[in-house]
Structures are given as structure tokens and as C-alpha cells.
Amino acid sequence: MKRILLFLVILVAANIATAQSLAILEAYQLGNHDIVYLEDLMETRKGDIIAPVRMFDINGHNVDDFGYCFLKLSRQDATVIDSTIVEAEFTNVGLLEPNPQGEGYLFINEEYDYDCECSKLKIRKFDENFNFLPDQQTILPFEDTVFGGIPSYVSEGEDFIMSYSKSGDLVLARFGLDGEQKDRTVYHDSLIGTVAYAEWGLKQWNDTPREYAVWGSVYEEENGNPIGYLFIVDSLLQVREAVRFEYWVEVQTWFHNNDMSIATLDDGSYLMSTPYREWSGNYEVQGVQVTKRDKVSHEVLNTVYFPYDRRDGSPYVADIVKDENGDVFLGYGDMQGINGFTVVKMDSDLNVIWKRFCLMTRLWDNSIKMTLLGNDGAGVAIPIFNFMSNPGHVTVIIVNDDYDGISGQDGVSVRPYGFWPNPAKDMLHLEYSPDITPTRIELYDLQGRLVRSQTTGLESVGMEGLATGTYTLRVTLEGGKTFSDKVVKE
């Protein structure tokens, strides 16, 4: 299986038959732990999905780590098939992948040991049924502590490479699966200047010669502005090119923590996605932009904008990836988790093929990973984790070309259209995916009475004159397919 590694990750396996096009695991209860993190997904050789969930509790000012719960999910409907609990110390983001040395799977991550006040790198092995093999794990001392930043990994045969931040410095390291550290390079102020904070993404840039892209944002101590960087690194982990992206260009490009994402498009171009802001008179427009750039000159060849201007919350980029057909998947949401999550499929020229709106009525924290399902563009899976707003719950959403499927459970749904604001005062706005044609929108009150009906002007529906309360929005598409969602009139 070919793995595509990203900033927000997308994984894919081929020839998976889907009984349902949209599937949602919602609110899978993992006890009453204060914090759960779901930051990655992996598709197994058998076609199931593995979701590694970090769980720990808050005890006063201390963190009591509970460990990992590895959920095995059905590819067809995202239901839980099995689970494996692995005890862990204070953990950070890891790398989950098939074992390149044979059958089974690997999970590699850094953990902090409070007894020795030091970090350890752990390489855990699982069999084909994802049973943990404790007698085969490798534990080695790790000279750096990277907590406070998020490390990134990329596999390289029987080695793996890490990128992370240490006191503002960029560190690149290569390890063997036996735990041997083979290379380690630290880049100080001479490369990126004096910075207050940095996080780094990592993925393959070229296959021949083997090169890697390392990207991220830094906060300069001089003025506090976030600056974007892209480093092209050779097989010896030496930077051969450094590209600096300014905070202010034609529009205000916002490089904030992990909000910058890179994907190689072909031999001559790559994609970069970031949030943006611009002013139209006295009105601020914000959203997510994707630029197609030349690999040599880094000149912008094309740009597409996805405005988020009329919704609450600040947009963030989850990830951007390319499948083997050359199509591109972009995932983005809002920092407050109010308006859910949007997945966009584009062709290599950045023309939008479809949009899928993952609507949520509860507050969820940001997704920072996304996984491609099927190298041929069969779909994407999005892990969404909760911080403290609903303890012990995680969500996995699967979307693809066919928008017909099950409704979301417990306040989560996937639609070929989005609507906002919700609650609404005077006007409810709608946005439609380009692969559908709406023919009618209707509003019903709780007694089932029709209070609004439109066959034209379907980009909005007036809420003036309606009593405060909950209504059902019904959207009818060409061909007769209907969807229903709850909206609230303030």
C-alpha cells in the first residue's frame, strides 16, 4: 500500500468497495477521560481503518496519562470492530504505518518519562489483526524533548525521519526501525533567524533524487509576525534551498502554527494552502487560499480562494493532498469548531469538482489530520477530536464522490451544501457543491407546517417574521433527493 504523508494526513488503499458513500463514527465513548486526541488514521491491508486515540486526565495541575486506545473501524460505515489498549507515558503525535519489514504494523512516537525527566522514542509493533506485541517493541533514549511542538514523520523504507522544533531551532533526524539514530541535523538562527515559536511539517518532495519538503511557520521575536518557510532537504538531511513566505502579500496570508500545508503536485509544481485575510472597505474577508507554485522559481501559477467571510470563527487549514489521478483534496474548518469542517476536491488546475460540508451542532476541537482512502481518489477520512467540551468522545467522518449516504449521528451530518449562520436572525445563507443542482428549499416549524418555500434565489432564505425557535430546513436536489437539517431562529 502506498502511503501519502501530509501535514494533516491523508492515507489511501485501493479497490475498496463502499456499501455507503458517507459514514460517520460519532461520539464513540472512551470512558470519562478529560482529554482525547485523535490525530491520525491508517487503512490496513484488509481495508479496515485504525484510529489511534490518545487519552489522559487532568488531576489538579498534573496530567495523568492513560495511554492509547487503537480503534479498528469498518471502512463501510465507520463502526467500531475492535479495540486495543496500550499503556503509555506522556505522549506526543506519532507515526502509524504498515511494517516495511513484513506483516503487521508499526506505531512510532515520543513519550516523556517523568521518572527520569527525559524523552524516549518508542517503536511499537502490532500483528495483522492489530494485537500489540510488547516483546517486540523498541525503546531508546531521545536527547531532545519536543513537547510544546508537534513532530512530523515520514517513512523511508526501513528508516523514518522526524522533523521537530527545539527551542526555536529546526531539527531533522533519521532513525532505523531498530532504534539506531543514523543522522541528526540542527538548524539554528542562521537559517531562520531568531524566532519565538515554530512547528514543522514534513513530506517527500522528490523521489529521484530523494528530497524532502519541510515547512512551517515561525513567530519572529522582533515584531511577532508569523512567517512561512519551506526548506528543500536532500537525502543527507541537508537543506539545499530555503524559501521565505512573507506575512503580507496581495492579501494578508496568515501563517499560524500548523495552518500552512504543502503538497507536491507533479515534477514541476507544488501546492501551498494557508488561511488569508483581506479588507473590502471596512469589512474583513477571511478564508483559505490554495496556490499552485513552480517548484524551481516558487512563482505563483494559480490561486483559488475559499472565503469564510460570513461565518463565525477563524478558518484553519487541516490538510491538502493529491491522489494518483492528480486530483487534490483540501480540508479546512474554523478554529472554534462552530461551523464544522469542509472537504474540497479539485483537479490539478484547481478547478473545484465537489465540496462536502461536515456540519456539527456541537463544539469540537480542530482536526489536524486527514486520510485519503484509495489511491484513485475513493474518498477521505477526517479524524476530529474533542478537547474538554465533550470528554471522552471522538469522531471519524468518511466522504467521497457520491454524496448520498447516512445522516450523521448525534449532531454530525455530511452534506453537498453548507448553511450559516446557525442560529440565524434575519437571513440564512446557503452554499452548494458544484456537482449538485438545488431545485427547492423549504422551512418547516416544529408542528410540521410549511413556513417558507423557494424555487429561485436558493442562496439564501429570509428568517424575518418567524417566531424564535427551531425549524427544519429541507433542501431538494435535481432528481428528487432531499436532505433535512435543523436551524434555529434567534
pLDDT of residue 257 exceeding 90: no
Q: Are 413 and 359 within 8 A, CB to CB?
A: yes
pLDDT of residue 399 exceeding 90: no
pLDDT of residue 240 exceeding 60: yes
pLDDT of residue 312 exceeding 80: no
Q: What is the mean pLDDT of residues 258-287?
A: 80
Q: How would residue 28 be classed by pLDDT, with cut points 50, 70 and 90?
A: very low
> What percentage of the chain exceeds 90 in pLDDT?
33
Lowest-confidence range among 223-227, 342-346, 423-427?
223-227
Output the pLDDT for position 421. 85
Q: How would residue 111 be classed by pLDDT, with cut points 50, 70 and 90?
A: confident
Give the chain's domains with CATH numbers. Answer: 23-415 (2.130.10.10), 416-490 (2.60.40.1930)
Q: How would residue 6 be classed by pLDDT, with cut points 50, 70 and 90?
A: very low
Output the pLDDT for position 339. 60
DSSP string, 331-388: EEEETTSSS-EEEEEE-TT--EEEEEEEEESS--PPP---EE-STTT--EEEEEE-SS
pLDDT of residue 384 exceeding 80: no
Output the pLDDT for position 432. 95
> What percentage of the chain exceeds 70 in pLDDT?
71
| More confident call, 255 vs 396 | 396
Q: What is the mean pLDDT of residues 211-217?
A: 88
Q: Are 149 and 201 within 8 A, CB to CB?
A: no
Sign of torsion, CA 36 38 39 42? Answer: positive
Q: How would residue 65 be classed by pLDDT, with cut points 50, 70 and 90?
A: low
Cα–Cα distance measured from residue 384 to residue 353, given in angstroms and rounded to the nearest whole number: 24
| More confident call, 208 vs 452 | 452
pLDDT of residue 451 exceeding 90: yes
Q: How would residue 300 be classed by pLDDT, with cut points 50, 70 and 90?
A: very high
Cα–Cα distance measured from residue 306 to residue 224, given in angstroms and rounded to the nearest whole number: 26
pLDDT of residue 84 exceeding 60: yes
| Mean pLDDT score of the chain | 77
pLDDT of residue 347 exceeding 90: yes
Cα–Cα distance measured from residue 96 to residue 153, given in angstroms and rounded to the nearest whole number: 10
Output the pLDDT for position 23. 35
Q: What is the mean pLDDT of residues 385-414?
A: 61
pLDDT of residue 196 exceeding 90: no
pLDDT of residue 346 exceeding 90: yes
> Looking at the DSSP assignment, which residues form a beta bridge with residue 92?
none
Helices and strands (DSSP H and E) totals, the chain:
1, 38
Q: How would residue 238 be classed by pLDDT, with cut points 50, 70 and 90?
A: very high
Q: How would residue 77 be classed by pLDDT, with cut points 50, 70 and 90?
A: confident
Residue 478: exposure state from Cβ atoms within 10 A (0-12, 13-18, ≥19): exposed
Output the pLDDT for position 321. 86
CA 356: distance to chain centroid?
Answer: 14
| More confident call, 96 vs 64 | 96
Q: How would residue 180 be classed by pLDDT, with cut points 50, 70 and 90?
A: confident
pTM as predicted = 0.85
Q: How would residue 248 be classed by pLDDT, with cut points 50, 70 and 90?
A: low
pLDDT of residue 19 exceeding 50: no
pLDDT of residue 217 exceeding 60: yes
Which residue do the cell numbers 456499501 mark? 19
Q: What is the mean pLDDT of residues 447-465?
A: 96
Total length of the chain: 490
pLDDT of residue 12 exceeding 90: no
Residue 354 identity (one-letter amino acid): W
Output the pLDDT for position 219. 67
Output the pLDDT for position 249. 57
pLDDT of residue 476 exceeding 60: yes
| More confident call, 152 vs 89 | 152
Output the pLDDT for position 431. 92
Q: What is the mean pLDDT of residues 131-146?
A: 82
Lowest-confidence range among 232-246, 398-412, 469-483?
398-412
Longest dimension (CA), the chain: 70
pLDDT of residue 335 exceeding 70: no
The dihedrals phi and psi of 437, each to the nearest 5 degrees, come to -130, 110
Q: What is the mean pLDDT of residues 333-347?
A: 75
